């Protein structure tokens, strides 16, 4: 490691530590006006009342503040629940908004400064580390030492990173009130973009986009000379920044519903939820366009583009989850499990999620058009189960938190219902395949090892067979790392795409069909 890289790594760790400590500094004070401003009209009177013991009291930490808040709030609700007065219970969660509004600083007084010393410092450190990578070396992919690395081969650093990510997601999804300082730090950016204060989701989107950019630059360094890798990395960076991050905020600025035009149902599982439908239907021509565009993507976009190019057009060129996996997750791609057993589990899980998503959506739409006479509130229950189990726990906590433990595509491989849909098209009606170059395979195993989807590429390659698998996201890394030039991702005629009985070229004595 060059000295500048060591400095970069140190700066990154510093920024990262500040980012992690930031939520726990500062003082909090709740006031009547804050409550009035941050709760719904119907709860205003009650909430002002419930929270009155906290007014004027200065808390030294968010823990103490949130503890008191929860105590008063829960006491009120528990009382009602035990009396079975369900309609009076306050189901809304005001912890995040009230904690955020009660913050006295210092972050609130100087958000740019705190954003700078945490996120910006980490980004600068990371870039100082990344930019000199492979500087003095000839072009070529260097996987040297990956399996000796504590970070990349499930050593102490890997487990530590995994644990951190898991905790981060748990806080983000279920206890965002503990990270309000971080959200406050990005408030000005959010105000500038959408005219609204930041939520934890804005913070998340910002960090997510930065991660894709910084680690995308690492991809450019690592896969120098491989244009396919460079282009698709640039592509996910572009789609994340424009479609997923900036455009939706601008829509909000113009009082339109937040919408990510490249997200497709059923990955975008709430697309047909009543509030989204109503949002789109009540937003004039643009809203109508959102609805129609979304449906076109589902019924035409996916099958057509996948027919011509394979599911890679989405999974490793456009998708946000894929974008993070291919950039932030790239150092962990070798950790995916290649066994036939995990392939079996994969098929059950991913199709299970697909069925769940389709059924839930069918019921939702049915219910919506029946004016809720069909199932009433029951679909909401379904939504919260799906949102909790699949949308948050699976896609977030496991999907990203497990990068350093199970590889970078855990969600895409085992959970994503859109991947399941794309995969079916890819497997049964597509021009995409990975061609095996005759008899050139030496069974070395680099392809399988570096396949993030856990596909045992070698199994096919060494038999001279093309790789046609529903899960292949077309990242192209198997082809890039093959030392014998055996694999080529390509779109071609359907005839001869699936060669179950391949003939290995080179032996004229017999024509082996294996």
- Residues at the interface with other proteins (CB under 8 A): 137-140, 143-149, 226-228, 231, 308-309, 339-340, 431, 435, 437-440, 442-446, 448-449, 458-459, 462, 476, 479-480, 483-485, 488-493, 504-510, 512, 514
* Cα 498 versus chain centre, distance: 32
Return the number of the residue (52 or 143) whose C-beta is nearest ligand SF4.
143
Beta carbon of residue 437, minimum distance to ligand SF4 (angstroms, whole number): 8
Return the number of the residue (400 or 479) whose C-beta is nearest ligand SF4.
479
Phi, psi of 418 (to 5 degrees): -70, -40
Q: Assess whether the previous peptide bond of 106 is cis (omega < 30° from 0).
A: yes
d(CA 13, CA 15): 6
Q: Which of the listed partners (other proteins, ligand SF4, none) does 475 bind, with a CB threshold of 5 to 8 Å by partner kind? A: ligand SF4
Beta carbon of residue 262, minimum distance to other proteins (angstroms, whole number): 21
Joined together, the tokens standing for residue 191 give: 């105000």
Return the number of the residue (386 or 450) whose C-beta is nearest other proteins.
450
Return the number of the residue (137 or 377) whose C-beta is nearest other proteins.
137
d(CA 37, CA 56): 16
Q: Which of the listed partners (other proteins, ligand SF4, none) does 451 bind, with a CB threshold of 5 to 8 Å by partner kind? A: ligand SF4
Return the number of the residue (98 or 475) whose C-beta is nearest ligand SF4.
475
Contact in structure between 200 and 172 (CB atoms under 8 Å): yes
d(CA 158, CA 288): 46
Beta carbon of residue 439, minimum distance to other proteins (angstroms, whole number): 6
Q: Which of the listed partners (other proteins, ligand SF4, none) does 146 bind, with a CB threshold of 5 to 8 Å by partner kind? A: other proteins
Q: How far apart, in Å, are the Cα atoms of 457 and each of 178, 415, 471, 472?
A: 44, 21, 12, 10
Q: Using CB under 6 A, which residues numbered 376 to 435 contact ligand SF4?
A: 434
Return the number of the residue (138 or 371) whose C-beta is nearest other proteins.
138
Beta carbon of residue 153, minimum distance to ligand SF4 (angstroms, whole number): 18
Beta carbon of residue 346, minimum distance to other proteins (angstroms, whole number): 16
Applying CB under 6 A, does 445 fall inside the site for ligand SF4? yes
* Vertex 446: Cα angle to 444 and 450 (nearest 5): 160
CB contact set of 344 (below 8 Å; sequence gap of 6+): none
d(CA 455, CA 102): 51
Joined together, the tokens standing for residue 34 give: 């804050």
Q: How far apart, in Å, are the Cα atoms of 249 and each of 44, 120, 141, 182, 188?
A: 29, 21, 38, 19, 13
Applying CB under 6 A, does 329 fall inside the site for ligand SF4? no
Which of 99, 306, 446, 466 forms a contact with ligand SF4 (CB under 6 A)? 446
Applying CB under 6 A, does 457 fall inside the site for ligand SF4? yes
* Vertex 455: Cα angle to 454 and 459 (nearest 5): 135
Q: Which of the listed partners (ligand SF4, other proteins, none) does 149 bind, with a CB threshold of 5 to 8 Å by partner kind? A: other proteins
Q: How far apart, in Å, are the Cα atoms of 368 and each of 272, 278, 339, 378?
A: 9, 10, 43, 12
Contact in structure between 416 and 180 (CB atoms under 8 Å): no
Which of 244, 455, 468, 504 forms a contact with ligand SF4 (CB under 6 A)? 455
Applying CB under 6 A, does 476 fall inside the site for ligand SF4? yes
**Any idea what DSSP says for residue 331?**
G
CA terminus-to-terminus distance, the chain: 47
Which of 11, 121, 325, 473 forms a contact with ligand SF4 (CB under 6 A)? 473
Say whether 228 sits in a helix, a strand or coil. helix
- Sheet with 27-29, strands from edge to edge, namely 58-59, 27-29, 103-105
Beta carbon of residue 339, minimum distance to other proteins (angstroms, whole number): 6
Joined together, the tokens standing for residue 145 give: 């030492």
d(CA 365, CA 372): 10
Q: Which of the listed partners (other proteins, ligand SF4, none) does 455 bind, with a CB threshold of 5 to 8 Å by partner kind? A: ligand SF4
Q: Which of the listed partners (ligand SF4, other proteins, none) does 285 bind, with a CB threshold of 5 to 8 Å by partner kind? A: none
Applying CB under 6 A, does 335 fall inside the site for ligand SF4? no
Q: Which of the listed partners (ligand SF4, other proteins, none) does 490 bind, with a CB threshold of 5 to 8 Å by partner kind? A: other proteins
Return the number of the residue (48 or 146) whose C-beta is nearest ligand SF4.
146
Count the residues of the shown chain that bind ligand SF4, applying the rule CB under 6 A: 29
E strand or H helix at 130, and its extent? helix 121-130
The torsion defined by the Cα of 242, 244, 247 and 251, in degrees rounded to 10, comes to: 180
Return the number of the residue (370 or 443) whose C-beta is nearest ligand SF4.
443
Q: Which of the listed partners (ligand SF4, other proteins, none) does 371 bind, with a CB threshold of 5 to 8 Å by partner kind? A: none
Return the number of the residue (207 or 477) whose C-beta is nearest ligand SF4.
477
**What residues line the site for ligand SF4 (CB under 6 A)?**
434, 441-447, 451-453, 455, 457-458, 461-462, 467, 472-478, 482, 484, 486-487, 489
């Amino acid at each position: 490691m060059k000295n500048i890289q060591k400095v970069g790594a140190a700066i990154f760790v510093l920024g990262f530590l500040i980012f992690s400590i930031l939520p726990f500094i500062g003082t909090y004070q709740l006031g009547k006006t804050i409550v009035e401003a941050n709760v719904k009209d119907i709860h205003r009177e009650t909430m002002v009342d419930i929270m009155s013991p906290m007014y004027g009291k200065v808390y030294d930490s968010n823990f103490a503040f949130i503890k008191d808040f929860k105590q008063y709030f829960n006491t009120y609700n528990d009382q009602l629940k035990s009396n079975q007065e369900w309609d009076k219970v306050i189901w809304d969660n005001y912890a995040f908004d009230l904690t955020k509004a009660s913050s006295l600083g210092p972050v609130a007084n100087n958000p740019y400064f705190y954003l700078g010393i945490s996120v910006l410092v980490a980004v600068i450190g990371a870039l100082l580390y990344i930019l000199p990578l492979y500087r003095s070396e000839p072009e070529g992919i260097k996987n040297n030492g990956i399996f000796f690395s504590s970070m990349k081969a499930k050593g102490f650093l890997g487990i530590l990173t995994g644990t951190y990510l898991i905790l981060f997601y748990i806080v983000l999804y279920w206890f965002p009130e503990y990270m309000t300082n971080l959200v406050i730090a990005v408030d000005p950016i959010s105000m500038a973009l959408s005219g609204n204060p930041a939520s934890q989701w804005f913070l998340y989107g910002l960090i997510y986009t930065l991660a894709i950019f910084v680690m995308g630059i690492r991809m450019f360094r690592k896969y120098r000379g491989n244009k396919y890798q460079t282009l698709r990395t640039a592509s996910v960076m572009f789609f994340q920044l424009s479609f997923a991050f900036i455009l939706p905020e601008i829509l909000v600025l113009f009082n339109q519903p937040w919408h990510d035009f490249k997200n497709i149902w059923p990955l975008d599982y709430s697309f047909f939820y009543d509030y989204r439908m109503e949002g789109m239907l009540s937003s004039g021509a643009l809203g109508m366009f959102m609805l129609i565009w979304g449906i076109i993507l589902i019924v035409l976009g996916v099958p057509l583009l996948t027919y011509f190019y394979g599911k890679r057009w989405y999974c490793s060129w456009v998708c946000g989850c894929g974008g993070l996996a291919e950039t932030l997750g790239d150092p962990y791609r070798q950790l995916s499990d290649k066994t036939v057993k995990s392939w079996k589990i994969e098929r059950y899980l991913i199709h299970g999620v697909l069925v769940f998503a389709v059924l839930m959506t069918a019921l939702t739409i049915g219910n919506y058009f029946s004016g809720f006479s069909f199932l009433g509130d029951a679909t909401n229950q379904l939504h919260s189960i799906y949102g909790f189990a699949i949308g948050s726990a699976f896609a977030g906590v496991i999907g990203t938190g497990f990068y350093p433990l199970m590889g970078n595509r855990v969600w895409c491989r085992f959970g994503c219902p859109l991947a399941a849909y794309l995969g079916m098209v890819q497997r049964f009606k597509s021009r995409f395949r990975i061609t095996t170059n005759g008899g050139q395979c030496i069974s070395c195993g680099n392809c399988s090892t570096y396949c993030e989807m856990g596909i045992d590429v070698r199994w096919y390659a060494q038999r001279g067979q093309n790789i046609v698998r529903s899960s292949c996201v077309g990242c192209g890394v198997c082809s890039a790392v093959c030392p014998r030039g055996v694999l080529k991702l390509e779109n071609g005629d359907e005839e001869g795409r699936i060669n179950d009985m391949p003939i290995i070229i080179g032996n004229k004595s017999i024509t082996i069909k294996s």
